[in-house]
Structure 1
Amino acid sequence: MKSPNIFKRTTCALRAFARSFSGYDITGGAGRWPHSYMLNAPVAQSLAAARLASRKIAHQAENNALVSSIVTNAATAIVGDGPTVRSAHPDPDVNAHLQRVWNEFYKSCDLEGTMSLAGYLNRVARGFVIDGESFTKFVVDPSIMSLRLQLLSADQVDSARTVPSLGTTGDSPNIVAGVEFDAIGRRVAYWVLPTQPDAPWASVLPPVRVSALDVCHVFEPRFPGMPRGISPLTAVAPLAMQLDEAVDASIVKLKTTALLSMLIRDPEGELSYDFDSTNNPQALHLEPGATLRLPPGADVTFPPVSEMNTLGEVLSHIERLICAGSGTGVPFFIATGDLASVNFSAGKLGMTAFLRRVKALQQNYIVAQLLTPIWDRIVLLEVLSGRMRAPDYETNPERYAAQFLFPGWPPIDELKSAKANTLNIAAKVKSRSEVISEGGRDPADVDAEIEADPFAADDLSADVTNISNQNEPENN
């Protein structure tokens, strides 16, 4: 007898609980929030949109001036002229050997033999921005035991190959968008097409399995379990397309406005014209310095021209939104080249934020996902080939690690930067090696250059007091 009452009370409680959230528009109860405006399955939805987004953004990178500038500036800031390496091995002879091997690899690292490591990393950075990911395949020449890099297209890793593991065979692999995982979720292989799908000579052969030890996948996993990357420009690509449309419409409007025209009216409708004279309305036209003789009683009006005073502000606002949401951190004044609207403090603040983003991209993705595996493979090949004696390679692997130093950013005010570095070293807040490393140089190389320089005498070095007392030009 009490069960209907319990069911009724439970139903009323659930309805009251649901009504308690109806006041928040985020739940959709207010009716203003579209039901499709949500990510129900971020991983699946990103996989479905990634390849289409990369094709559209690739088109914009070649045709949209702002997107092209963002891609170029982001890739240049991430790579620069290439990183230097510092080996962590305590033996200077081993360090010197590894440095020589790295220098030889740096000169010609790709399989085609057309560019240095800096140029190769620039292509990797462009792929990271446009496609959201970049794949590098290790190719080892067995005759000389040397490493070469092969850049794979994002479409070359078969995103259509998805084979879920049903758990019927125990350790059966799980393949998602061309990435193979083992039973505990580790990446074990990639399924790669023999040739790029967009190549003129593209084959129709099925993808082949390549071990994950021979492939470096540079991407940003935004969600847990995300196997592939998506371009950071995806959020602003629609707005960039609308910016192009707005610019095109503005240019057409400017051309239309430049066409000066006039209308001659006859209010009475009783005027007669001599079509053989100069007052023929069909023959009247405007010329610089011309004097027109209109028919008696005629009235002249000009079509109204809409104002475009606020057009520049609207377009600049859209450009700022695109730069802010691009995910690369490229400031507005760098992407557009509009330095007139930026003062010293705002420019320094924007460049500081951009520098932090660039360092995060360098260390989290370029170094961790690409440069470190490259270094490990180079060291391994030197050990296996017998060119380097390393009895503690397996017992002390940390000795064979490396640190990568990217080129530093030129200071806005060199004198202030020199003062700050000198005072920090004197106050023991920073070390000399740290200051040199921030500039992308190896302290050992700097010390060797100073020792080899005959003009680097002690009496020519400036002390803290001399640097601090130098006058500074005022910043206008």
Structure 2
Amino acid sequence: MNIFKRTALAFRAFARGFSGYDVTGGSGRWPTNYMLNAPVTQSLAAARLASRKIAHQAENNALISSIVTNAVTAIVGDGPTVRSAHPDPEVNAHLQRVWNAFFASCDIEGTMSLGGYLSRVARGFVIDGESFTKFIVDPLTMTLSLQLLSADQVDSARTVPSLGMTGDAPNIMAGVEFDAIGPRVAYWVLPSQPDAPWASVLPPVRVSALDVAHVFEPRFPGMPRGVSPLTAVAPLAMELDSAIDAAVMKLRVSCLVAMVVRDPNGDLVYDINSPNDPATLQLEPGATLKLPPGCDVSFPPTSEMNTVAEVLSQIERLICAGSGTGVPFFVASGDLASVNFSAGKLGMAAFLRRVKALQQNHIVAQLLTPIWDRIVLLEVLSGRLRAPDYEANPERYTAQFLFPGWPPIDELKAAKAATLNIAAKVKSRAEVISEGGRDPADVDAEIEADPFSADDLSANATNISNQPDTENV
């Protein structure tokens, strides 16, 4: 036994010396559980519990609520516009009319437009880490409606591994069904939300993946479900609440004014009817106190609060930096006095890049593109749109989605920069218009219908752009 022990100790010493990295745990500084051994399994186990806690923080923590609201508003705005890629103007006009009708009333409940629906999708993405949309087609009118599913409505407890027994056996992981090759083929959905009053206890129903749009960010290979981007800062947000409560209590204690009357000798006897009895002494504004002979007064020390604001601000900055949404600290906190123009512009530039990535990689790719494809397919199958080249040239029936642009901080400088870029052929006019979230064709139509002379307006714009900017001189 001693030989085996000595051999094991020698092997461990050899392994520690061979690795040479503290991150391997050889020094003992790293806790044993401070690692992700199985990212997919651990994320599935923690995702639903994390989403419930973050949902509570989104309704009760001021900073988390601000981050969620600003992220949702930045991602969606008032909803995107669409540009059809078909070369035929009549087909484009027909698809545009269909899209406008769908945009006005898209959900199965008939209560909001597509912009409001996307706000609910983006909110679910931020809080739950994922959002599910079910496509419902009316068989009579051949029109599409959307139904927003709760993240808990997709049965995360349903996991049925194929175990490799048969080549065609499906693999169900957390309510998501995969085929033998790997693509998603179905979702197992509960008939009603688990948190709804008098929720149904019926088993989940298999819904084809063609009828479900799953918006999520797979952080690891093979990850079937999403995790909230606020998961990393949720514990710190809870500590922020505790720190704020402690600071408020500390402020209340510091505001208390008290005094202690002491009798060093302890041999004085006071008459309770005497006006200078210590038990009757009170601190009042403008009052003059007369202490009995031999007594002195001391005041309890009060703690300083000079650094409390700095500590709270540092915690808030860490939460904003690690939230995964890109919302800057000065936007989430509303503290615009702590940022200058250059720093604010740099922070907003990073925020815009993150928002654009979320829009294109998730909202457009995982939701809007499947919605557009289903709308075009229904128009073709119903005979309302004649498309003989639908199968031969599917690229003609794609679309580009333009989200609302961000208002410039200095509109005159932004207009001058756009004019110079177009003149230098660095950017096209269509690109500049698309950055504002509008379709260049709509802008051209509005210009042609404008009663004013376009040449006179162009000349005036040229004169204005040549004027020096004396605002900051």
Q: Which residue does the alignment assign to 1:31?
A: 28
Q: For residue 15 of structure 2, what is the aligned residue in structure 1? A: 18
d(CA) in 2 for partners of 1:346 and 1:336?
Answer: 16
Between the aligned partners of 1:133 and 1:357, the Cα distance in structure 2 is 17
SS of the residue corresponding to residue 279 of structure 2 reads coil
Structure 1 unaligned runs (5+)?
1-9
Q: TM-score, normalised by structure 1?
A: 0.96
Tell me, yes or no, if structure 1 residue 49 matches structure 2 residue 46.
yes
Matched, 1:345 2:326: no
Q: CA deviation at 1:424?
A: 0.3
Q: Which residue of 1 aligns with 2:376?
A: 379
TM-superposition CA deviations, 1:130-183 (whole Å, max 9, x none): 000000000000000000000000000000000000222320100000000000
Matched, 1:163 2:160: yes
Cα distance in 2 between the residues matched to 1:16 and 1:248: 48
Please give the secondary structure, in 2, of the residue aligned with 1:282. Answer: helix
Please list, as runs of the form range in 1=range in 2, the aligned pairs for 1:176-215 lying within 5 A after superposition.
176-215=173-212
Does the 8 Å contact 1:415/1:472 carry over to 2? Answer: no
Choose which of 92, 107, 113 in structure 1 pairs with 2:110: 113
| Residue 447 of structure 1 pairs with residue 416 of structure 2 | no
Pick one of 398, 402, 406 that aligns with 2:399.
402
2:465 aligns to what? 467
Distance 2:172 2:376 in 1: 31
1:414-453 paired onto structure 2 within 5 Å: 414-453=411-450
* Secondary structure of 1:168 counterpart: coil
Give the match's secondary structure for 1:72. Answer: helix
Shift of 1:465: 5.8
Aligned partners of 1:22 and 1:30 also within 8 Å? no
Moved over 6 A (4+): 10-16
| Partner Cα distance (1:223, 1:172) in 2 | 24
Aligned ranges 1:333-372 → 2 under 5 Å: 333-372=330-369
| 8 Å CA contact 1:188, 1:212 repeated in 2 | yes
Query: CA separation in 1, counterparts of 2:313 and 2:77?
Result: 28
Match of 1:325 in 2: 322
Other-structure match for 1:60: 57
| Cα shift at 1:295 | 1.1
1:3-44 Cα distance to aligned partner (Å, 9 max, x none): xxxxxxx99997676233454210100110112100000000
Contact kept in structure 2, 1:450 and 1:456, CA below 8 Å: no
Aligned to 2:92: 95
Contact preservation (8 Å) 1:423, 1:464:
no
CA distance in 2, matches of 1:208, 1:263: 72
**Which range is displaced more, 293-302 or 126-135?**
293-302
Map 1:243-392 onto structure 2 (within 5 A): 243-392=240-389
Structure 2 segments unaligned to the other structure (5+ residues): 1-6
**CA apart distance, 1:271:** 2.0
Residues 356-411 of structure 1: CA deviation (Å, up to 9, x unaligned): 00000000000000000000000000000000100000000000000000000011
Q: Which residue of 1 aligns with 2:232?
A: 235
The residue type equivalent to 2:304 in the other structure is: E
Which amino acid in the other structure matches residue 133 of structure 2?
A: T
Distance 1:45 1:432 in 2: 49
Aligned to 1:127: 124
Query: In 1, are the aligned partners of 2:447 and 2:454 still within 8 Å (CA)?
Result: no
The code of the aligned residue for 2:468 comes to Q
Higher mean displacement: 19-28 or 193-202 = 19-28
In 1, are the aligned partners of 2:44 and 2:174 still within 8 Å (CA)? yes
CA contact (8 A) 1:135 1:152 kept: yes
Amino acid paired to 1:278: P
Q: Which residue of 2 aligns with 1:79?
A: 76
The TM-score normalised by the length of structure 2 is 0.96
What count of residue pairs does the alignment treat as equivalent? 466
CA contact (8 A) 1:279 1:294 kept: yes
CA–CA distance in structure 2, aligned partners of residues 151 and 425 of structure 1: 42
Q: Offset at 1:194? A: 0.1
Offset of 1:254 from its aligned partner?
0.7
Contact kept, 8 Å, 1:22 with 1:28, in 2: the verdict is no
How many Å separate the matches in 1 of 2:375 and 2:18? Answer: 59
**Whole-angstrom distance in 2 between the partners of 1:76 and 1:253:** 36
Q: How far apart in 1 are the matches of 2:18 and 2:330?
A: 43
CA distance in 1: counterparts of 2:10 and 2:304, whole angstroms = 59
CA-CA distance at 1:469 after TM superposition: 2.6
2:136 counterpart (110, 128, 139):
139
Change (3 A) 1:32 1:398: same
2:72·2:123 contact (CA, 8 Å) conserved in 1? yes
- Partner of 1:190, secondary structure, is strand
